[in-house]
Structure 1
Amino acid sequence: MRTALVIGAGIAGPVAAVALQRAGLTPTVYEAHEGPADEVGAFLTLQVNGIDALRTLGIGHVVSEIGFPTPRMRFRSGTGKLLGEVSTGAALPDGTVGVTLRRSDLYRALRDEARRRGITIEHGRRLTDARAVPGGVRAEFADGTTATADLLVGADGIRSRVRRAIDPAAAPARYVPVLNIGGFAPALDVGTAPGGYEMIFGKRAFFGHVVAPDGAVWWFANPPRRSEPAPGELAALGTAHWRARLNDLFAGDRTAACAIIAATPGELEAWATYDLPSVRHWHRDRMILIGDAAHATSPASGQGASMAIEDAVELGRCLRDVPEPDAAFAAYERLRRSRVEQVVADGARSSNAKAAGPVVRVLRDALLPIFLRRQGDRAAAWLHGHHIDWDAPVTTTAGAGHR
């Protein structure tokens, strides 16, 4: 039986391991952190195409109890004017819609499911290098250990060491000129019903929030920042700075932003936004990239997790049907590259719109209602309606298995 090393135990890694196991391989997952590093405090949306891809592998149940439905997004200007409303994707046949969930809960659920299926996940194994050896690939770890297998899957995120092993001259991640910060406010009346995102293009920054079923308000903000922060700079600023900064940014807007931030307990810390517009080489010498390692998108796309899950399913199909790894990897890239790069481009445009100046802001508020109506139809058909048929055969010349 063929073996695989999967580097990274975030979202893409455990799902890829399940897909590879189902395709007849024996995967082992290696994670750099000593224990679960779950980014407690962050949350994400998992769109219907991502849920559908999990169901393709028979593991859709992992999200059924850890998130809540968020079927729509409503956009407003900083004056409170409604700019438009879009769905987060047409419901699946059984009525399932996109969900919002804590990142830590999704990581944990996917890891637990992989382990339940007999897949080994080893923590504290930070990859330092990977290289081809006769008949396979060898991974070298910071603790001095090594591991060999028939192939290696890089699911190690936007700072991927596997990407550097494949292409030492690979372009670095691109800074997107907004920051991210967010949190959870206890039950608070903000005038909106649970399950619908309120997205506000404020005069000085973007703010979004959604009310959970228990009344808690999950929120995020995108303070503009043209220059890339130095390492450690944002963390050093501290909670008092961020509370004052956010209050200043949103004080002139007709939103609940300031009240939500004031009600949020605990520490606040911002982080920078990056994406990868186009990675030159996805595979080499029995090594392949998936998820953020190959095509990181800004959070504005709402598709990072779903794209990673789709990648994992397609990689499993390709390795099942195309015996030679490089040929299987090439088939996988043909199936995925154009789709994911379009998602990255859309996410970059959305992020840039959040940091608009006064002139662009006026144009944006005038044109956005038209764009949202058109984009909603396109997303339903192309983005959210994407389905992968696990049983459809993969060939080396054409992509199959989609509706």
Structure 2
Amino acid sequence: MHNPYRVIVAGAGLGGLALAHGLRNQGLDVAVYERDAHPGARPQGYRIQLDEPGLTGLEHCVSPPLFRLCLATAGSPPARISVRNRHLDALADKAALRGSPAGDGQGPLAFNRPTLRQVMLAGLRDHVHYGARLTAYRHEADGTVTAHFADGRTASADLLVGADGVNSTVRRALLPEARIEDAGLRLIYGKVPLTGSARADVPPWVFDSIFTVVTGGPGHPHVGLGPVEFNARPEQAGPAHVPPVALSPVDDYVACMVGAPSDHPAVPPFEVLRALTPAQLRDVTREVLVGEWHEDVHHLLDLWDTHSLFALRISTAVPVPAWESRPVTLIGDAIHAMSPVLAMGANTALRDAGELTHAIAGAVGRGERLVDAVRAYENRMTDYAFSIVTDSRRTGQQRVGQRWIPPAESPLIGQGYMSLWSGV
């Protein structure tokens, strides 16, 4: 064993970065390896919603000043989740989860995902290695793990953590029996800008809830809307941090997404959908939302920033039986990708980071092996995470017609899967 312990995190998403912060704060030697060439190499989505589980996990991992910066660059819409029919009649309206770690009783928060990621990269820049696509790993005789990357690089550590998303290389090697299913939903995602006088053009009911679903019913299209109005401008809050953190300017916006079953006649196969231009994606949504949709819905789509549009396909994990713990483990979508309807994908990934940090800190303090910490974490994680996966699947089937697509019809290859609604 080594002192300090060495940990490799595969994947620089929110969960992987949070874990890197948490373990470094516990004195471990952590290196993050990310397949993308740089942080902005591909679309990372826009809005995410963090409730108590995610906020608690984030607070447990990052330093107090960085956590305060995360909160400062969030938005605080009304803590309600609304569901309306296509005529905008209310079907459900309930309070969202409350109780933030800030101790002020504040409800869930809306974050701009790229901004949150920039904050979390602060203090880790020398520890994140880009252009490093993990291809395999090998267990060594001394109990360590060697990671192999596509460019020929190798790295050894006492623990390898797969935070590498739905198409996880680590999961395929560790749990080849684990399955990820196509949920039968396709999504076109974009932003409605709120700059200048544009906010007045958005129907007021959009701002009444942290997230609103306008649904045509199970098996029919739906629209999701989530406002992001920053408590503090990122480009101002970042430089005010000590030490300063450079954050890209971002204007307020409404995340706006149109979802439809994969077999909807206006929705092409995903490989075709993903290759369409933003203008063509806009045309698809017009064909999807035909019929008696309220004029406000069509007006919102007229306000879309066409250049912001991209397509996604939704997936969900199949719970797996308990496995033998090794010096390799998984967090986030790499192990428990879930339907987005409960908005718990990012929340659960950040909870994973906090739980694993806590387990490792306890093991190190007691002089135990890291694999003992991994076992404790996996026992807890599989209990809470897969119950959420099941609940998300059930709610998705009831609310938007989520369904199972046989693997032979929908091979999970390449990019394009994301846990969504407020989890993107």
**What is the CA–CA distance in structure 1 between the aligned matches of 2:145 and 2:32, rounded to whole Å?**
15
1:127 maps to 2:134: yes
- Listed as ranges, the matches of 1:227-246 within 5 Å are 232-246=271-285
**What is the CA–CA distance in structure 2 between the aligned matches of 1:175 and 1:78, rounded to whole Å?**
26
- Give TM-score scaled by structure 2 length: 0.77
Query: Greater CA deviation, 81-90 or 262-271?
Result: 262-271
The question of whether the paired residues in 2 share the 8 Å contact of 1:68 and 1:195 is answered with no
1:311 maps to 2:352: yes
Flag the 1:278–1:255 CA change in 2: closer, same or farther, 3 A. farther
Q: CA deviation at 1:226?
A: 4.1
Amino acid at match of 1:256: D
Match in the other structure for 2:13: 10
1:191 maps to 2:204: yes
Identity over aligned residues, as a percent?
Answer: 27
Match in the other structure for 1:111: 121
Q: Secondary structure at the match of 1:96?
A: coil
Match in the other structure for 2:296: 256
Unaligned runs of 5+ in 1: 358-403
1:98 maps to 2:98: no
Q: CA deviation at 1:41?
A: 4.6
Flag the 1:283–1:156 CA change in 2: closer, same or farther, 3 A. farther
The question of whether the paired residues in 1 share the 8 Å contact of 2:326 and 2:374 is answered with no
Flag the 1:67–1:195 CA change in 2: closer, same or farther, 3 A. farther
Q: Summarize deviations over 1:94-141 as a string: whole Å, max 9, x none.
A: 1322122222222222112444xxx61111111110111122000001
1:28 maps to 2:31: yes
The question of whether the paired residues in 2 share the 8 Å contact of 1:297 and 1:304 is answered with yes
> What is the alpha-carbon root mean square deviation over aligned residues?
2.4
Amino acid at match of 2:110: T
- Listed as ranges, the matches of 1:283-362 within 5 Å are 284-322=325-363, 323-356=368-401
Q: CA deviation at 1:255?
A: 5.4
**What is the CA–CA distance in structure 1 between the aligned matches of 2:401 and 2:329, rounded to whole Å?**
37
Q: Secondary structure at the match of 2:277?
A: helix
**What is the CA–CA distance in structure 2 between the aligned matches of 1:231 and 1:198, rounded to whole Å?**
25
- Listed as ranges, the matches of 1:140-219 within 5 Å are 140-167=148-175, 169-186=176-193, 187=198, 188-192=201-205, 194=207, 196=209, 197-202=211-216, 204-213=220-229, 216-219=253-256
Flag the 1:280–1:114 CA change in 2: closer, same or farther, 3 A. farther
Unaligned runs of 5+ in 2: 230-250, 403-424
The question of whether the paired residues in 1 share the 8 Å contact of 2:47 and 2:228 is answered with no
Flag the 1:277–1:301 CA change in 2: closer, same or farther, 3 A. farther
Q: CA deviation at 1:230?
A: 5.6
Flag the 1:302–1:249 CA change in 2: closer, same or farther, 3 A. same
Q: Secondary structure at the match of 2:183?
A: strand
The question of whether the paired residues in 1 share the 8 Å contact of 2:136 and 2:148 is answered with yes
The question of whether the paired residues in 2 share the 8 Å contact of 1:184 and 1:217 is answered with yes
Match in the other structure for 2:56: 52
Q: CA deviation at 1:14?
A: 1.0
Q: CA deviation at 1:215?
A: 6.7
**What is the CA–CA distance in structure 2 between the aligned matches of 1:165 and 1:356, rounded to whole Å?**
32
Q: CA deviation at 1:80?
A: 2.2
1:69 maps to 2:76: yes
Flag the 1:293–1:356 CA change in 2: closer, same or farther, 3 A. closer
Match in the other structure for 2:46: 42
**What is the CA–CA distance in structure 2 between the aligned matches of 1:10 and 1:356, rounded to whole Å?**
29
Q: Secondary structure at the match of 1:64?
A: helix
Amino acid at match of 1:210: G
**What is the CA–CA distance in structure 1 between the aligned matches of 2:43 and 2:320, rounded to whole Å?**
26
